[in-house]
């Protein structure tokens, strides 16, 4: 988006909560009074509220909790733009009731995240991390037919739970690139034409877990989705199956997963997200049949720049152009919004 120049005397004040790509920060500085955090200090809730005093906008990264307490402490805050597709750091009802707009960053990370999800599936199924560690420890002395044998990917059955943009992109890779049979479960069934494009078949969650050779989680975190995969669900899976989570921590019961992996209830797991991250359940760290990555599914520089730029564009649309967010996550209560924005 090309932002028109603003009058410096009337520039709104915003806070950028974490380090962002310098070129996006430079663009923001053309249109806003910017307080940045390029040192990437992660503030407590109290410190974030202090930093937000006098600010109309916030560029958040997903690690800043926007709740009723913070909104009450920051009466001038009007707009929060998340540099992430997920927004479980937003208390959306509280923001709506307070008259504060929120936005996220969909679409710009879809393909990159789908690539990573498939990479994590491949690493998990083919025991790539385990094989590297085996080699580095000097254990590879000779060839053997059953050395580090993994699971087939091509021609196998992939079950996707959460069939939004990223889930659909993964399904297309699986069906058209690897000849996989794709099952999916979603809150609502996709239109027939989308199912055809993805070569995906709708089924119940129970049937998906029972049939899939590989299960991929791509659903948003909500209270209803908390521990969507826990001990009962893991018990439905095949002992040769793998589980990959590129969605959000808390969707999987990490303690139950560690137990299932330890007991051979499922073969392996690949995890990019964790409950309470950056902390990782110690039982997972002790296991060899789990591939662990530090929430990097969208981590290419072009994608991270695009995520930051979309957040910046959302702030500009609302606070400079007087428009609605480009990618809104709520519609603020009009009375509360008028009251807050009049201040």
pLDDT at site 3: 45
How many CB atoms are closer than 10 A to CB 21? 17
Place of tokens 């943009």: 165
Q: Is 248 a catalytic residue?
A: yes
CA distance 35 to 47: 14
- Average pLDDT on 61-82 reads 96
pLDDT at site 342: 84
Residue 100, pLDDT > 50, answer yes
CA distance 202 to 185: 6
pLDDT at site 290: 98
Residue 8, pLDDT > 80, answer no
CA distance 207 to 101: 39
Query: pLDDT digit string (tens) for 215-272?
Result: 999 999 988 999 999 999 999 999 999 999 999 999 999 999 999 999 999 999 999 9
- Average pLDDT on 196-210 reads 98
pLDDT at site 62: 87
Catalytic residue among 210, 262, 277, 337: 277
pLDDT at site 1: 42
Query: pLDDT digit string (tens) for 11-70?
Result: 999 999 999 999 999 999 999 999 999 999 999 999 999 999 999 999 999 889 999 999
Q: Is 195 a catalytic residue?
A: no
pLDDT at site 10: 77
Instruction: Identify the burial level of 210 via C-beta atoms within 10 angstroms of its C-beta, where 0-12 means exposed, 13-18 middle and 19 or more buried.
Output: middle
Catalytic residue among 27, 185, 248, 316: 248
pLDDT at site 333: 87
CA distance 43 to 19: 12
Q: Which residues pair with 244 in a beta bridge?
A: 216, 270
Catalytic residue among 65, 262, 295, 337: 295
The overall average pLDDT reported for the chain is 95
Q: Is 295 a catalytic residue?
A: yes
Q: Residue 4 — very low, low, confident or very high, per pLDDT cuts 50/70/90?
A: very low
CATH number among 3.40.50.720, 3.40.50.150, 1.10.760.10, 3.20.10.10, domain 8-108+300-342? 3.40.50.720
pLDDT at site 332: 86
Q: Which residues pair with 90 in a beta bridge?
A: 66
- Which residue intervals of the chain bear CATH 3.40.50.720? 8-108+300-342, 110-292
Helices (H) and strands (E) counted in the chain, each on its own, are: 15, 12
Does the domain at residues 110-292 carry the CATH identifier 3.40.1000.10? Answer: no
Residue 273, pLDDT > 70, answer yes
Backbone angles phi, psi at 59, to 5 degrees: -100, 110
Asked if 289 and 125 touch (Cβ cutoff 8 Å), the reply is no
CA distances in angstroms from 18 to 22, 32, 141, 321, listed in the order given: 12, 16, 47, 24
CA distance 87 to 89: 5
Asked if 329 and 62 touch (Cβ cutoff 8 Å), the reply is no
Q: Residue 9 — very low, low, confident or very high, per pLDDT cuts 50/70/90?
A: low
- Say what the alpha-carbon torsion angle 60, 62, 67, 71 is, to the nearest 10 degrees: 0
Residue 343, pLDDT > 90, answer no
- Average pLDDT on 188-210 reads 97
């Amino acid at each position: 988006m090309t932002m028109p120049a603003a009058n410096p005397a009337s520039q709104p004040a915003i806070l950028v909560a974490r380090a962002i790509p310098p070129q996006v920060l430079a663009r923001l500085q053309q249109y806003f009074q910017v307080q940045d955090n390029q040192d990437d200090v992660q503030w407590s809730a109290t410190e974030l509220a202090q930093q937000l005093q006098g600010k109309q906008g916030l560029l958040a990264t997903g690690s800043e909790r926007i709740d009723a307490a913070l909104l009450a402490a920051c009466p001038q805050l009007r707009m929060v733009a998340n540099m992430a597709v997920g927004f479980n750091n937003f208390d959306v009802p509280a923001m709506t009731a307070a008259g504060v707009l929120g936005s996220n960053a969909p679409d710009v990370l879809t393909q990159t995240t789908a690539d990573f999800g498939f990479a994590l599936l491949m690493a998990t199924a083919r025991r790539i991390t385990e094989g590297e560690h085996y080699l580095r420890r000097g254990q590879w002395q000779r060839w053997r037919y059953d050395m580090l044998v993994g699971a087939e990917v091509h021609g196998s059955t992939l079950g996707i739970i959460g069939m939004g943009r990223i889930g659909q992109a993964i399904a297309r890779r699986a069906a058209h690139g690897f000849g996989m049979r794709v099952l999916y479960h979603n809150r609502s069934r996709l239109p027939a034409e989308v199912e055809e494009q993805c070569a995906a078949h709708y089924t119940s969650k129970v049937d998906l877990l029972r049939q899939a050779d590989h299960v991929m989680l791509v659903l948003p975190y909500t209270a209803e989705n908390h521990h969507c995969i826990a001990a009962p669900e893991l018990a439905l899976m095949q002992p040769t199956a793998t589980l990959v989570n590129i969605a959000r921590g808390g969707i999987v019961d990490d303690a139950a997963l560690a137990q299932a992996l330890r007991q051979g209830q499922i073969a392996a797991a690949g995890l990019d997200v964790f409950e309470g991250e950056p902390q990782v359940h110690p039982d997972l760290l002790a296991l060899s049949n789990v591939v662990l990555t530090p929430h990097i599914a969208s981590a290419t520089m072009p994608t991270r720049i695009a995520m930051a730029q979309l957040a910046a564009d959302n702030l500009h649309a609302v606070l400079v152009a007087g428009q609605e967010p480009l990618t809104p996550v709520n519609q603020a209560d009009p009375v509360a919004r008028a009251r807050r924005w009049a201040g």
